[in-house]
Amino acid sequence: MSGTVHVDGYTPGSHKYPSVSLSLADTRADGHHVRIRFISLSAAGPHTYYPWHAFYNGSGAAMGWLTSARSAATTAGFAVQAAVYEKNRQIRYCTGYKWY
């Protein structure tokens, strides 16, 4: 699996992510599906985990999602999490972070 996030229009310290672009690719022919989600990181409180986006098209396929997000806490950065699932059971995941 391979996942990326790109955030446009974000001002460090803000509560808003005006434009969030997620992309996800399934890179293994293992019979499992992949998922991706956006996370806003707070320096002083709990992080905000947004819902998973699932992708079932199989190995070699990719998909993207455009969205926006808002966090109740002042944001100190963001993260993207990509995972491999079997039905609703998470098999493995990886997380990429960007702090401000």
Report the CATH number that the domain containing residue 38 is assigned in CATH.
2.60.40.10
Residue 100 near residue 76, CB atoms below 8 Å: yes
> Cβ of 4: how many Cβ atoms within 10 Å?
14
Return d(Cα 99, Cα 17) in angstroms, integer: 14
Domain assignment of residue 80, given as a range: 2-99
How many domains are contained in the chain? 1
Note the pLDDT of residue 61. 93
The band of 43, judged by pLDDT with boundaries at 50, 70 and 90, is confident
- pTM for the full predicted model: 0.91
pLDDT at residue 64, rounded to an integer:
96
Q: Tell me if 41 sits within 8 A of 97, measured CB to CB.
A: yes
- 5-22 b/e with 16+ CB inside 10 Å = b? bebeebeeeeeebeebeb
Sorting pLDDT into bands at 50, 70 and 90, what band is 14? Answer: confident
